[in-house]
Amino acid sequence: MARHLKPAGGFELFAWFFMRISGLVLVFLALGHLFITHILNNVENINYEFVADRWAAPRTGFIWRLWDLAMINLAVLHGGNGLRQILDEYVIRRSRRVLTHTLIWSGAAILMVLGTYAIVMFEKDQAYINQKHALEKGQVVSAGRGQEPSQALQPLAATRP
């Protein structure tokens, strides 16, 4: 006969359950991401315009933003908690554990805040995309003439350190 008890609760139980769920969700998010960026598309096609179009699309944009938001936050939390578990096996003294936990969670917080800010506050810069298209056209035309590298590309190259 199964007996019914009060569920145990507490941080460690929550952390364990979170790892199960986030791990499972990340398998779909991360493999889906790899499939889209490396099989449906490839590194030649993936650029600012690709990401900007996806995030700024009228109806589906928020889905892609939600995908990327979930992926970065779950990955950082999942990785951070896994690191805590493993380091706890080597760092036994309480004061040192406080230090390692502080470092892990501060690092995780910075990454999540930066990632979330970038994804949520993103605005598509159409002018930049247009300029890039114009530059690429210039390059093709000049290459066709068999001349030296395009003059139009020079301002961009000049900005590099």
Partner 1 sequence: MADTMAADAGTRRLTVRIKRYDPEQGGEPRWQEFQVDAHPMDRVLDVLLSIKWNQDEALGLRRSCAHGVCGSDAMRINGKNGLACKLLVNTLQGDVLTVEPILGLPVIKDLIVDMKPFFDHYKSVMPYLVNDDPPPTTERLQSPEERARFDETTKCILCACCTTACPPFWGNEKYVGPAAIVNAHRFIFDSRDQAAAERLEILNDGEGVWRCRTVFNCTSACPRDIHVTKAIQEVKHAMLTGSTSLND
**Distance, CA of 57 to CA of 124 (rounded, Å):** 10
Task: Pick the binder of partner 1 from 31, 63, 88, 156 (CB under 8 A).
Answer: 88
Report how far residue 23's alpha carbon sits from residue 78's, in angstroms, rounded to the nearest whole number: 7
Separation in Å, CA 74 to CA 61, 103, 120: 20, 18, 16
Q: How far is the CB of 94 from partner 1 (least distance, A)?
A: 11
State yes or no: residue 3 binds partner 1 (CB under 8 A).
yes
120 binds partner 1 (CB under 8 A): no
With binding defined as CB under 8 A, does residue 4 bind partner 1?
A: yes
Of 43-51, 67-75, 82-90, 136-144, the window that binds partner 1 (rule: CB under 8 A) is: 82-90
The residue from 39, 92, 121, 158 that contacts partner 1 (CB under 8 A) is 92
CB of 81 to partner 1, least distance (A): 11
- What is the nearest approach in angstroms of partner 1 to the Cβ of residue 98? 14
Q: Total number of residues binding partner 1 (CB under 8 A)?
A: 21
CB-nearer residue toward partner 1: 7 or 155: 7
C-alpha span between 90 and 86 (Å, rounded):
7
Residue from the set 17, 50, 62, 128 that interacts with partner 1 by CB under 8 A: 17
Amino acid at 12: E
Which is nearer to partner 1, 1 or 140 (by Cβ)? Answer: 1
For the chain, the distance separating the N- and C-terminal CA atoms, rounded to the nearest angstrom, is 73
Residues 94, 161 contacting (CB under 8 angstroms): no
Q: Which residues of 36-69 are buried (b: 16+ CB within 10 A; e: fewer)?
A: eeeeeeeeeeeeebeebebbeeeeebeebbebbb
List residues near partner 1 by CB under 8 A. Answer: 1-10, 12-13, 15-17, 85-86, 88-90, 92
